[in-house]
């Protein structure tokens, strides 16, 4: 025998029918149907007022949206954008007050959403890092001390509230953790000091592999580069 299929509308009708028999308490029916008492009474009130049609799902869209951008203001936004294709939301935001005298202007983000909705913006391509490295060009370690990896593992607060930035250094071939240094920051000078200490003890690796995070991939002159 196949399972009997049901839907939300059928379940609502069953609930109302059972409630009208007077044989069950509303609180018990709500528990059996998996709904709150507030929802159960809402179904009963709608059924009394509108019949079966009152049990149909209704739109959850608010009746009014006071934050919706005024149609005339939206028209001005689109007009200025088409007149000045290179202008962004910030310039148009200023223009609405200076030229059109609109003091209660939409937020810059709202203006940007209007432009996006009408297809008047283009997503900028993310700029590539200073050094784009492809996986096939990475040196695979074949012996100890050939490739070292440097990485910060995410900061945490010590018991006294001081910030700790753990720098980990690992030999790529042996997976040996050469160092795990708790630094106060990720700045260049602090990190360089930790690196020099490790290299004096273990020697110099042939290759250092790092990510593009601070300070290794910094665009400033002091940033490390692998």
DSSP-assigned letters across all residues of 152-169: E---EE-TTS-EEEEEEE
The SS3 of residue 178 is: strand
CB 205 within 8 A of CB 148: yes
Between residues 62 and 75, the one the model is more confident about: 75
pLDDT tens-place string over residues 121-172: 877 666 655 555 566 677 888 999 999 999 888 888 888 888 899 999 999 9
Number of CB atoms found within 10 A of residue 171's CB: 19
Considering the domain architecture, whether residues 14 and 77 belong to the same structural domain is answered as: no
The pLDDT of residue 224: 44
CB 192 within 8 A of CB 199: no
Mean pLDDT rounded to a whole number for the chain: 82
Considering the domain architecture, whether residues 147 and 178 belong to the same structural domain is answered as: yes
Domain CATH number, residue 163: 3.30.420.10
Range of the domain at 169: 138-209
Overall pTM > 0.95: no
Nearest to 12 by CA among 46, 36, 43, 39: 43
Residue 38 lies in a domain: yes
Spatial neighbors of 44 by CB under 8 A, at least 6 apart, are: 16, 19, 26
Number of CB atoms found within 10 A of residue 62's CB: 9
Residue 125 lies in a domain: no
Band of pLDDT at residue 84, cut at 50, 70 and 90:
confident
Residue 162 lies in a domain: yes
pLDDT tens-place string over residues 63-79: 555 566 778 888 888 88
Domain CATH number, residue 105: 1.10.10
Instruction: State the Cα angle at 25 between 20 and 31, rounded to 5°.
Output: 110
pLDDT tens-place string over residues 195-207: 899 999 999 999 9
Residue 87 has pLDDT above 80, yes or no: yes
Residue 109 has pLDDT above 80, yes or no: yes
Q: Lowest-confidence range among 52-66, 153-167, 179-193?
A: 52-66
With a pLDDT cut of 90, the percent of the chain lying above it is 24
Residue 126 lies in a domain: no
The pLDDT of residue 168: 92
Strands (DSSP E) contained in the chain are: 147-152, 156-157, 163-171, 177-183, 207-209
Residue 25 lies in a domain: yes
């Amino acid at each position: 025998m196949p399972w009997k299929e049901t839907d939300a509308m059928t379940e609502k009708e069953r609930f109302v029918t059972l409630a009208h028999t007077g044989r069950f308490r509303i609180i018990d029916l709500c528990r059996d149907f998996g709904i709150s008492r507030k929802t159960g009474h809402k179904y009963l009130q709608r059924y009394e007022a509108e019949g079966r049609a009152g049990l149909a799902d209704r739109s959850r869209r608010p009746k009014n949206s006071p934050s919706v951008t005024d149609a005339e203001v939206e028209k001005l936004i689109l007009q200025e954008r088409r007149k000045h294709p290179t202008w962004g939301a910030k310039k148009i935001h200023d223009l609405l007050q200076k030229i059109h005298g609109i003091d209660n202007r939409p937020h810059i983000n709202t203006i940007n959403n209007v432009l996006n909705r009408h297809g008047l913006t283009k997503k900028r391509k993310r700029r590539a890092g200073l050094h784009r490295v492809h996986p096939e060009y990475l040196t695979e370690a074949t012996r100890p001390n050939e490739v070292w990896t440097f990485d910060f593992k995410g900061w945490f607060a010590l018991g006294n509230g001081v910030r700790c930035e753990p720098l980990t250094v690992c030999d790529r071939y042996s997976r040996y953790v050469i160092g795990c240094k708790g630094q106060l920051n990720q700045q260049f000078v602090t990190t360089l000091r930790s690196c020099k200490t490790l290299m004096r003890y273990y020697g110099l690796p042939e290759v250092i592999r790092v990510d593009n995070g601070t300070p290794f991939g910094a665009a400033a002159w002091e940033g490390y580069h692998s």
